[in-house]
Amino acid sequence: MATERDELTSYDYRQTRARILAASDVCIVCGHGASDAVDHIHPASKGGARRDPDNLAPIHGVAGCLVCLRKCNSEKGNRPLAEVVQLHTSVDWFAGP
Ligand SMILES: [Zn+2]
Ligand SMILES: [Zn+2]
């Protein structure tokens, strides 16, 4: 059985990553450009498709985002994207009473 590490270093993964980053490098977590990694929108460990390009999106990898300095990929971790994005939008700081 392939481990996550095999998955991330495989030729297939690098090919897919290159293709996705060529189409867009806007990070799915913070919304800034210059992503250097891709991540599963629906975590593979939770049943998401590992190799399906539709389930992969640009994200800031280990170097983090140069604009907001967030480590988007480690912030997201193994959680579904909806959960991560919600963490930052559930409080509407500008909402009036
Ligand atoms: Zn980001
Ligand atoms: Zn950012």
| pLDDT tens digits along 13-28 | 888 899 999 999 999 9
From ligand 1's centre to the CA of 31, what distance in Å?
Answer: 6
Q: Cα(36)–Cα(34) distance, rounded to whole angstroms? A: 6
pTM of the predicted model as reported, rounded to 2 decimal places: 0.76
Percent of the residues in the chain that have a pLDDT greater than 70, as a whole number: 79
Residues near 82 by Cβ (< 8 Å), separated by ≥ 6?
none
Choose among 51, 70, 52: nearest CA to 61.
70
Residues near 50 by Cβ (< 8 Å), separated by ≥ 6?
7, 40, 44
Mean pLDDT, residues 60-89: 87
Choose among 36, 41, 24: nearest CA to 66.
36
Q: Counting ligands in written order, which one lies closest to the CA of residue 29?
A: 1
From ligand 1's centre to the CA of 91, what distance in Å?
Answer: 19
Q: What is the pLDDT of residues 51-72, one digit of tens each?
A: 888 899 999 999 999 999 999 9
Q: Which two tokens stand for residue 29?
A: 């977590």
Q: Beta-carbon neighbour count of residue 11 at 10 Å?
A: 7
